[in-house]
Chain A
Amino acid sequence: MKRNSLIVLLMVLLISIFIVGCGEDKPKVNVYNWGDYIDIDVLDQFEEEYGIKVVYDTFATNEDLYVKILQGGSNYDVVFPSDYMIERMIKEELLVKINKNNVANIKKVGDQFLNHSYDPNNEYSVPYMWGTVGIIYNTAMLDDYPESWADLWDEKYKGQIIMYNSQRDALAVGLRKLGYSLNSRDERELEEAKVELIKQKPLVYAYMGDEIKDAMISGEAAIAVVYSGDAVYMKWQNPDLEYIIPSEGTNLWFDAMVIPNNAQNKDAAEKFIDFMTRPDIAAKNAEYIGYSSPIPEAVALLDKEVQSDPVAYPSDEDIKNTEVFNDVIDVIHIYDRIWTEIMSAE
């Protein structure tokens, strides 16, 4: 009995140390970002400059984040959803407006990255990174190179193609190949895209997520559908790789910073967003993760080579024929059914 009470006492002590340890008086900002999507050093820098402690947490998919915010309880102050998810969260009144007086650096964001349909006046979001979806291929493994989405249906690439394992992104490929909008809500168009993607299945080596990076770098396959930011990283690792924006046009995407309704510390959240939008900090992040910053002054701080890289920073001409995703939650059951049928086809 004596020994038991000793153990209990020890546990109580341990737990109280824990609680005391966490109970510092310093203000906190709870940040929820994509995994591997920041130069962690900038968090320390923020804490030093503002005296606000950053509690940093990561997610893997927009839907993951959405459910977390919807259920509340987690109380994040700054989160980093993508375009269509921001549109949904605004519609469902899950976000608060950002006071632009407190985020002065929003002026530094390039005009072409503001006022997109997901948040028409950028009242709720400040862009963090942007990019395109395209085709990466290995010049050492192929004799002639793909130029369009339709080339991903070419028999000569059989067993060499890696498709992106994501409902929206994979269907976008099928829709654009057929000349439809990648925001199609028309069941007939989506059915056609399904038929195309099932037809393509025998040529596909695998459907992958983040593993695409390793597979392409090591030369497992010759062609893959990827995000431009990942393409930059892959090209660093394997110079044989080349990235193109397919001729049928593609998806232009944004990940932006927003403040959820149930944020505990809106003031700190705005400070954090302002800090992340400061050119030197934005440049640090862009340099570290390889994705494209929407802040021209930040881009100017990067290596000349990176600045002129058409993968990360394509010309306006290159991205003329692009679309930003709209939220399709109202027809998500059609998307879901069609994707399930594609993935389950033998």
Chain B
Amino acid sequence: MKLRRFTLPYILWLIVFIVIPLLLVVLYAFTISDNHDILSFKFNLDNLKRFFSSPVYIQVLLRSIKLAFISTLICLIIGYPIAYIISRESPKKRNTMILMFVIPMWMNFLLRTYAWLTILGRNGIINIFISKLGFEALNFLYNDNAVLLGMVYNFLPFMVLPIFSVLSKIEMNLIEAAEDLGADKTITFIKVIFPLSLSGVMTGTSMVFIPAVSTFIISSLLGGNKSSLIGNLIEQQFMYTGDWHFGSVMSIILMVFILISIAVTSKFDKQKEGEGGGLW
């Protein structure tokens, strides 16, 4: 009973900052109105139909998913070895390395993304170097590759940290046992270490995929708004067109999509009851 009392603030927090806003988005998604007076909202599914009847919106959604998928994959390919290497170090060294990894995240996300403009721009550091060598300056910015780079750069720590935390908790004697039983390094990794780290991989995947699929800042700053992602369309509805109803529909569709993809990944995640690091 005593514990109950202390959960009250959290429940209040949940209601005020998560449940009510979510319900509002749902309310906006399935209604129309001339103004923002909630009492005048009328139930209506036109906005939902509008999304699915126009190929543009579906295309943008698919593009966002594609880019988010690729960036998640790249994060996994780069992030897993990093997490593995760090987890094999002595605890002291390990903490320093993780700290080095996390420190850039103390800086504002926007600022870090902005910094890439000065690195990749036509008059950026790389191009100054290239033209010093006598070559023509290159266009790095304002294309899909720049957007992918921005996503991988910004979200890589979200892949590394959960994998690292799972890897560093694997009991050494399990690995020793595998070696005693005649497994070489590769087999140990494939049969013991990797399966045990799967929960971290799943968490990392979700934590990279979700912000990547919904970002609008990265595609705006590094992609030059040349091809919208679903996040840009949602931003457009809220900030410029002022159609909160349609913006909410798109948010809900994106949310449903993310839920499905998490449900699918967690299906594969047999270890989710095990060591920490699972998202659910």
Instruction: Spell out A's residues near B (CB within 8 Å).
Output: 60-61, 63-64, 66-67, 70-71, 92, 159, 165-167, 201, 204-208, 211, 218-221, 332-333, 335-337, 339-341, 343-346
Q: How far is the CA of A131 from the CA of B228 in the complex (A)?
A: 30
Q: How far is the CA of A211 from the CA of B110 in the complex (A)?
A: 13
* Contact, CB under 8 Å: B56 / A344: yes
Q: How far is the CA of A290 from the CA of B123 in the complex (A)?
A: 26
Q: Identify which of A207, A332, A345, A346 contacts B241 (C-beta below 8 A).
A: A332
Q: How far is the CA of A344 from the CA of B123 in the complex (A)?
A: 28
Q: Identify which of A60, A70, A205, A340 contacts B35 (C-beta below 8 A).
A: A70
* Contact, CB under 8 Å: A207 / B225: yes
Q: Identify which of A206, A219, A336 contacts B142 (C-beta below 8 A).
A: A206
Give B112-128 as 1s and 0s: 1 = Cβ < 8 Å from A's Cβ atoms. Answer: 00000100011100000
Q: How far is the CA of A66 from the CA of B238 in the complex (A)?
A: 11
* Contact, CB under 8 Å: B123 / A166: no
Instruction: Name 13 interchain pairs, CB-CB below 8 A, sorted by A.
Output: A63-B241, A64-B239, A67-B244, A71-B36, A165-B220, A165-B225, A167-B240, A207-B226, A208-B224, A335-B241, A336-B237, A344-B227, A346-B227
Residue of A nearest to B143 (CB): A206
* Contact, CB under 8 Å: B35 / A343: no
* Contact, CB under 8 Å: A345 / B240: no
Q: How many Å from the CB of B270 to the closest CB on chain A?
A: 39
B window 53-84: CB within 8 A of A: 54, 56-57, 59-60
Contacts of A67 in B (CB 8 A): 36, 242, 244
Contact A343/B227 with A167-B240, A167-B241 known, Cβ cut-off 8 Å: yes
Q: Does B98 sit within 8 A of A, measured CB to CB? A: no
Q: How many Å from the CB of A212 to the closest CB on chain B?
A: 11
* Contact, CB under 8 Å: A340 / B236: yes
Contacts of B244 in A (CB 8 A): 67
Q: How far is the CA of A211 from the CA of B123 in the complex (A)?
A: 15
Contacts of A208 in B (CB 8 A): 224-225
Contacts of A66 in B (CB 8 A): 242
Q: Identify which of B56, B57, B139, B236 contacts A159 (C-beta below 8 A).
A: B139
Contact A211/B233 with A60-B239, A61-B240, A201-B226 known, Cβ cut-off 8 Å: no
B window 182-240: CB within 8 A of A: 220-221, 224-228, 232-233, 236-237, 239-240
Q: How many Å from the CB of B131 to the closest CB on chain A?
A: 13
* Contact, CB under 8 Å: B224 / A63: no
* Contact, CB under 8 Å: A61 / B225: no
Q: Does B141 sit within 8 A of A, measured CB to CB? A: yes
Most chain A CB within 10 A, of B36, B121, B226, is at: B226
Q: Does B243 sit within 8 A of A, measured CB to CB? A: yes
Q: How many Å from the CB of A261 to the closest CB on chain B?
A: 13
For the complex of A and B, list the 8 residue pairs with the smallest distance between their C-beta atoms, beginning with the closest: A206-B224, A207-B225, A63-B242, A206-B142, A343-B228, A336-B241, A344-B228, A165-B225
Contacts of B121 in A (CB 8 A): 218, 220
Q: Identify which of B224, B225, B243 contacts A336 (C-beta below 8 A).
A: B243
Contacts of A340 in B (CB 8 A): 56-57, 228, 233, 236
Residue of B nearest to A168 (CB): B240
Q: How far is the CA of A63 from the CA of B244 in the complex (A)?
A: 11
Q: How many Å from the CB of A242 to the closest CB on chain B?
A: 19
* Contact, CB under 8 Å: A343 / B232: yes
Contact A206/B236 with A71-B36, A220-B122, A332-B241 known, Cβ cut-off 8 Å: no
Contacts of B228 in A (CB 8 A): 340, 343-344
Contact A205/B123 with A63-B239, A211-B221 known, Cβ cut-off 8 Å: no
Q: Identify which of B36, B56, B221, B243 contacts A70 (C-beta below 8 A).
A: B36
Q: How far is the CA of A166 from the CA of B233 in the complex (A)?
A: 13
Contacts of B123 in A (CB 8 A): 218-220
Contacts of B141 in A (CB 8 A): 206
Q: How far is the CA of A341 from the CA of B145 in the complex (A)?
A: 22
Contacts of B139 in A (CB 8 A): 159
Q: How many Å from the CB of B93 to the closest CB on chain A?
A: 38
Give B35-58 as 1s and 0s: 1 = Cβ < 8 Å from A's Cβ atoms. Answer: 110000000000000000010110
